[in-house]
Amino acid sequence: MKFGIRRPSIKRSIAARTSVKRLVKQGLGLKAPRGMGWVTDPKRAAYNRVYDRTTVSFWSLLKRLFGGR
The letter for the amino acid at 24 is V
Averaged confidence pLDDT in the chain: 87
Strand partners, 6: 57
pLDDT of residue 68: 64
pLDDT in tens, the chain (69 residues): 778 888 888 999 899 889 998 888 888 888 888 888 899 899 999 999 999 999 998 888 888 888 766
DSSP the chain: ---EEEPP-HHHHHHHHS-HHHHHHHHHT-PPPTTTHHHH-HHHHHHHHHHHHHEEEHHHHHHHHHT--
